[in-house]
Structure 1
Amino acid sequence: MDIWSATARVAFVPVPGSRGKREWRWGGRDGSNSISDAEQLLCLMLPSTEIPQFRLDEPNSTDEDLLTVLRPFGGAIDIPQFLIGLVMEYLERYTAPDGTPIFSGGSYFSPLFPGEEPTAEQRALPVVESFAASIPLMLSSLGFIKVFSRSVTRPELRARLAKVEEAASRRLSAAMIGLLRSFSISVFPVDSEFATTLLRTVNQGNEPHRRVVEDLRVSLREVAAGLRDLTFGLTQVEQIEREDMLFECGWSWSVHSNATPVDFPVDLGQQVPGVALDAPYLYFTVVALDAIADLNNDRTRLLRLLDDEQLKIATALRLRWDLTQRYWSIVASFGTKRWPLQDIPWRTVDGVESDYFSLLVTSIAARNLSVRPNDLDLQRLGEILAELANRSRMTRRPLREDPALNLHSPGVAIEVEGATEFSPRLSWVAADFAPLLLKRAVMVAGLVDRIDLRGDAVNLADDLWDHVAQRRSVVDEEPGLWDDPSRVYPLQPGDPSPSWHHTVRVVESLVLAARLAYDQPLRSESLLDHAHSLLAEADHLYSQELLAGTSESGAPERKRLEAVRQRIRRAREIMPSRPGTAVSLLLLALADLDSLVASRDTTEVF
């Protein structure tokens, strides 16, 4: 609620010269673009569609505390309409006159070298992060409209909802096609520099070169076979199974130069030729994987948010999602010694290394383990995350002029290359290490089934949250949004206006944490056995009290015996999922039973 309150305060501002009128202010620290504005809306839409207590699409059941926080937007009926209006405004801002959805990177593009400035044409280039940001925003908007429309009877409002729904569905389709056209496979000879770097990364046991190549190719055989069957816009597929070749797969930073248009029955405007280098980028691969996961989650399926044609594209993306997850998980855990992922920092095939890349690969490995949970592997991931937290000085005091602080400010600059050289050369700056590490720590905590490992993961997430929470900016002595690393590190204070990119990462982490909190606690088998023993004893003693006639005694005794019966009944109900709570109830019941026995024994003596 604090985040929503701060969002309303900084984004819904008074109109100059008006009396009490307010307007939505797009953009923040990084200006207004198709990504930042989507992230700004997601700060409101994600919690309202993912956390039951924060639902805003059913006006009659909206929590009073939420109404108080969002009062600037209106009442329970007004708030959903206000949010839908913002979504429509976003769709109009990022749709060209010919109806083509706009996915430009805009102000998120940075020059690779100081003193230069990206051209207007470069800023207009579509980027995978915009495709990816549009998918959860459009899905949450479509779901929000579908639920809210059940309570709408006014014809004009229903017509407005239908218009927004149609526009959101079109943008969703375009974003999915953009991701499909950005998928890339890079194949390179085993004696190339790329292969040398990859083999040095995976060869943690100092095995002979030829053996490592053979073992890696065997491990990746199924992935290669799956990729070979993909033909759309992929020019190097036919070489992927050659014994003298290795490969990578994932997403480029934009539609790549070899991508061809995708046939789609709905007119989505122009599918412009790709300009990006036809090679995977680790950063954009993780961004794409997270977005594609939303296309296949339970809410998307239950609400039937995708039509038949979108389901076909989603299936194609899911296949690429599976193969990419599998590829990077194999590479990250290759060999019989320590994992390559544990050899921090991770080095990409072009020779660039950073703790940030280790975090990205950990993100992929964690998501892959969500499909095939394994506590030992999750323990390793937890240890890697803890090490990254230490190295990034999130859980350790920084050194003087500590280079680790560059992860937080200014961040990691990733050059985005075109099929032909850009002028000036462009970069994409990733400075979201802290909230991304928090997000992955919460994810791992939710996957662990062992109580001790869950405790370690939750403790790490708590420590990371303590750090991230301190990095909220302060505006006019009010808690603002993220991110101000100077509040925890010896850095120069930055722009106090919000970074929606950082803030939405924090919101995503809190949504995951809320899901974890709503889950049933882990069950201890030893505690369950103990609960069964206590239940057997309590049942037996309760039956004895019935036979002793306590139920026919005075009112106080009957009342206490009834309380015992209720506790035993409740303990029996919750024991399979909450044995610890059952134990506490049974201990109370046993204490009351013993008190009844002792009272009767005393009476018999006298």
Structure 2
Amino acid sequence: MRIEPRKQILDIWRYMLEYCYVDGEWVWGGRAKSNPIADAEQLLCLFWPMTQIGTFSVHDSDETQADVAAALRPFGEATRIPRSLVEIALEYFRNHTDDDGEPRFGAGSYLEALDPNATVPTDAPTQDLEVVDAYSMSITLCLSLLFFVDSRMELEIQAKHKENLRDLQRRASRRLTAAMVGMLRSFVINSVTADSSEGRAIIEMLRQGDSTDDEMAKRLGERFERLRTQISTSLRLGLSDDAKPEKDQLFECGWSWGIADGSKPIEEDYAVGLKVSEKTGYAQSRPWLYFTVNALDGIVDFTSRRAAALNVMDDGQRDLADALSLRWELTQRYWSTVARFDAERWPLEDIPWRTSDGQESDYYSLLVMSVLIQDLVARTATDADLLKAIGILQELAQRGRITRRMSEGDEALALHYPGVPQGLGGSKEAVGTALVLYTSDYAPLIIKRSLQAAQLTDDVEARESLMGLAESAMDHLYERRMMRSGDPIELWDDLSTFPGMKGVRFDQPSWYLTERVVEALVATAIAFEQEPPRSPVMYDYLLRLLNEADHVYNRELLRSNVFEKTALRDRLEEIGTLIARARELSRRRTSTAISKAEEALRLLDALEVARIDAGRSR
């Protein structure tokens, strides 16, 4: 199906408000009971499009577009919409802040027992166990709210609502600081020897030829020498010196599932009074791909919009942002290098990806691809890199049954439901029960990464392939929309149409998946806002058209009387405007410029034919 982000986002808002806004009260929770992560995802379904796409903004009622106001009509008139949103956001902070003013980041109802026969304890330590998802979502949400408040503050005239904005600003800023501190303390370096089980797993995943273990270890040491030096000399906050790799060690870097075992407290002034800055860490000190990608997605929000973020962050937050940005850059570089370690055949092409703890899944390949594409966005991608990436994405879409039919008992179903289990190593030591988090965002990730990759190339065929992948993934997701009275609604997730899943139907939405769909739609909208690709062949053709049009146009000008106000002069002015517009569009929209140049040539030819006919009539 064609992806129409504006229509689809507004449809999501309409159905969302039907479900969430009842008799003037906001209903928290969905398929998962209310928790800090699910509630942040619920709010981001609204605030992410509003702060990412200009035509969805509602902070200025005079500028709010009619269809946006109609979708949010349950909040009231356009003047009431921003005030209602502020009140709901304040309720989120009241719900997830303790009596001491400390932000809560517990995963709560998202946690399940690793042992299928065990139950998750309902005690506070278990429900309050913090994971990186909570920090990442909070960074994205708090920055979105701070951008919203910054835009709205000057326009609000009523004292009560202005105070609400200030209160929201204070609460969002404090939670942002806490989330950034938690994110820093969850960053890990897993340093291992080449002959350890983890070291051998790293070598086996990267080996694509007949190299020996010693040769592979030497190559890894050489490729990562500069990165190892930067880690040793530049990383400070939250990371002990013992965690940094020695010269003869292999290593991997990224984010664990929560505050890492052995993480140092952060004692800087801006972290004083925050419990998260000194909490004991229990998460195993090795990177999880899922949490690493989630962390990178949260951090990229203030790295990609740095100038705007600097306006809403204080000095301490800027220091934290710099520290996180450094970790973002190092992690991007590490996983991008690992993914392409062998130039002839990338390890990433060897699907499925195997992690250093021996787990393997197509989902992990997609996560590594996510890091690679973000790195290609941050740096200049070559056509060769991009073509390989497209081929891998296409294979992952097939293996995930995005572009292929799913069959009864298909193993690929587990990628979508219940999802890929992320065992939280160390959780048993923390709360007495080994826990797991299930992740099922395979299809939205295909859309998001395909659209990001499409922004890297001017190759029309490559972009068409990537758009086709994104549209196939949206087809897949549209089959999974929830049903109401036999009709689909724009909320997720219902898997009853899949083979063998007839009984798997839910009455309440998953904000986890719905928020990921919104993210994918926003990524699509951003891609559409860019200029279309320019083909070198078409550009050369355009230059030839313009050269001929200019030449013939100048000849016609020489033949016409400059003082005459005739239809001929009007037509020449029209042709001149067409040629000028074609030149203006030449580098941005080549095909449109070609149509303008061809129209100019057609009109010039008509003038010549008219002149010939006039000569014959004499």
- Band the TM-score falls in, shorter-chain normalisation: over 0.9
Aligned partner of 1:241 in structure 2 is 246
The residue number in structure 2 matching 1:17 is: none
1:539 alignment counterpart? 550
Q: 1:36 to 1:364 in 2, by over 3 A?
A: same
Query: CA 1:478–1:404 in structure 2 vs 1: closer, same or farther (change >3 Å)?
Result: closer
Cα deviation per residue 1:427-475 (whole Å; 9 max; x = unaligned)?
0111111112221111111222333322222222222222222321122
Give 1:363-382 correspondences, 5 Å limit: 363-372=370-379, 373-382=381-390
Within 5 Å, which residues of 2 pair with 1:75-224? 75-119=77-121, 120=123, 121-224=125-228
Residues 415, 440 of structure 2: 8 Å contact kept: yes
Shift of 1:71: 0.6
Aligned to 2:465: 456
Give 1:292's aligned residue.
299
SS at match of 1:57: coil
For the 8 Å contact 1:185–1:236, the answer to whether it is kept is no
Cα separation, 1, equivalents of 2:607 and 2:473? 50
SS in 1 for 2:455: helix
d(CA) in 2 for partners of 1:300 and 1:28?
A: 36
Tell me, yes or no, if the aligned pair for 1:378 and 1:444 is still in contact at 8 Å.
yes
Residue 412 of structure 2 aligns to a residue whose secondary structure is: helix
Give the C-alpha shift of residue 532 in structure 1: 1.9
Distance 2:59 2:255 in 1: 34
2:369 to 359, 362, 367: 362
Distance 1:151 1:420 in 2: 50
Alignment counterpart, residue 441 of structure 1, candidates 450, 464, 468: 450
Q: Does the CA contact (< 8 Å) of 2:428 and 2:435 recur in 1?
A: no
Which residue of 347, 351, 362 maps to 2:354?
347
Gaps of 5+ in 2: 1-9
Shift of 1:206: 2.3
Question: Residues of 2 paired with 1:157 and 1:118: CA distance?
Answer: 41
Tell me which residue corresponds to 2:497.
Answer: 487
Structure 1: gaps of 5 or more residues = 14-20
Conserved? CA contact 1:111–1:427, under 8 Å: yes
Query: What SS is found at the alignment partner of 1:356?
Result: helix
Q: State the secondary structure of the residue aligned to 1:60.
A: coil
**1:338 matched to 2:345:** yes
Using the alignment, how far apart are the partners of 1:263 and 1:375 within structure 2?
46
Partner of 1:16: none
1:59 counterpart SS class: coil
**Which range moves more in the overlay, 251-260 or 544-553?**
544-553
Call closer, same or farther: CA 1:29–1:535 in 2, change over 3 Å.
same
TM-score (norm. length: structure 1): 0.95
Q: Which moved more, 1:446-455 or 1:42-51?
A: 446-455
Matched with 1:605 is: 616
Distance 1:302 1:37 in 2: 23
> Contact (CA 8 Å) 1:174, 1:268: kept in 2 or not?
no
* C-alpha deviation, 1:81, in angstroms: 0.9
Aligned CA distance change for structure 1 residues 232 and 596 (closer, same or farther; 3 Å):
closer
What is the distance in 2 between the residues matched to 1:485 and 1:236?
Answer: 48
Deviation at 1:194, TM superposition (A): 0.8
SS at match of 1:485: coil
Conservation of the 8 A alpha-carbon contact between 2:260 and 2:285 = yes
Q: Give the corresponding residue for 2:33.
A: 31
Gap change, CA 1:459 and 1:531, over 3 Å in 2 = same
What are the Cα deviations for residues 186-235 of structure 1, in whole angstroms up to 9, with x where unaligned? 11221111111111100011211110110011111112112222244434
TM-aligned CA deviation for residue 347 of structure 1: 0.7
Does residue 270 in structure 1 map to residue 272 in structure 2?
no
Seen in structure 2, the aligned counterparts of structure 1 residues 415 and 236 have a Cα distance that, compared at 3 Å, is: farther
Q: Which amino acid aligns with 1:376?
A: A
Task: Provide the TM-score with structure 2 as the length reference.
Answer: 0.93
Alignment check: 8 A CA contact 1:29 1:495 kept: yes
Q: Which residue of 2 aligns with 1:418?
A: 426
- Take 1:505 and 1:77, find their aligned partners in 2: how far apart are those partners? 29
Match of 2:399 in 1: 391
Kindly tell me: are residues 138 and 439 of structure 1, through their superposed partners in 2, closer, same or farther at Cα, counting changes over 3 Å? Answer: same
Distance 1:239 1:254, change over 3 A: closer
Question: Relative to structure 2, which stretch is displaced further, 293-302 or 173-182?
Answer: 293-302
1:467-546 → structure 2 map (5 Å cutoff): 467-476=476-485, 477-492=487-502, 493-546=504-557
Amino acid at match of 1:276: A
Structure 1 residue 156: deviation in Å?
Answer: 2.7
- The one-letter amino acid paired with 1:270 is K
Task: State the secondary structure of the residue aligned to 1:273.
Answer: coil
Letter in 1 for 2:410: D
